[in-house]
Chain A
């Protein structure tokens, strides 16, 4: 069970970080374009 838990945790953590970075970049670009 441990490999499954490791794989799923790393996968979803990775996707969450990726989404967070994308969102951060989008907000920064929108602010820059607005200014």
Chain B
């Protein structure tokens, strides 16, 4: 059901973003990558937030489902962070001339990925499931403290090649419509992936 609902948002959004949304005057057709890059970046923050909340719930209620949600959400967040970085690099090489520019947002997403790779390594290094849940929940809560700083504060206090159009509300409505459609569709897709991944995790325990 969720998958169908995500399709309802994503399919018309793809059509809109690729064929109807106006061409950006300075960048040209390449700019359309942002319709996929922004939702992927958004989703990685949402996934890390879900992991953080589930970790708090696991520590307070000690239910295995919260541990599974925290672990799987962090893994999916990492996957989408990687996708956002790859798409961002393609976009950067086409528009800024180089796939890597040491832009604050590029650096911050890599730091974020390293933090969550460490989370996965930590989880896999502990055999006892109860101890693994508690230690990784503690790590996840501390790790998430870095997310607002790395995603929202650091790129805004240092000079960046990234435009801040969405935050300042100056993104044209015609483009914003496409971004919002994709963001909603991607979020539903994330819920579907998380639901299946958590079921697998719980069945395997």
Residues on A lying within 8 angstroms of B by beta carbon are: 1, 3-5, 7-8, 11-12, 14-15, 18-19, 22-23, 25-26, 29-30, 33
Contacts and interface: CB of A to CB of B under 8 A. Distances in A.
A29 B198 CA distance: 12
A7 B196 contact: no
A11 B10 CA distance: 12
Nearest to B199: A26
Contacts, number: 50
A18 B200 CA distance: 13
B193 A22 contact: yes
30 contacts: A3-B30, A3-B33, A3-B90, A3-B94, A4-B18, A4-B30, A7-B33, A7-B87, A7-B90, A8-B14, A8-B18, A11-B36, A11-B40, A11-B83, A11-B87, A12-B10, A15-B189, A18-B193, A19-B192, A19-B193, A19-B196, A22-B196, A22-B200, A23-B196, A25-B200, A26-B196, A29-B200, A29-B203, A29-B204, A30-B203
Contacts of A29: 200, 203-204
Nearest to A25: B200
A19 B197 CA distance: 9
Nearest to B197: A22
B193 A4 contact: no
B200 A26 contact: yes
Contacts of A3: 30, 33, 90, 94
A14 B82 CA distance: 13
A8 B203 contact: no
A11 B192 CA distance: 16
Interface string B22-40: 0000000110110010001
Contacts of A33: 203
Contacts of A23: 196
Nearest to A14: B83
Interface string B115-153: 000000000000000000000000000000000000000
B32 A4 contact: yes
Interface string B167-205: 000000000000000000000010011001101100110
Closest 10 CB pairs of A and B: A29-B203, A4-B32, A22-B196, A1-B29, A26-B200, A25-B200, A26-B199, A4-B33, A8-B36, A7-B33
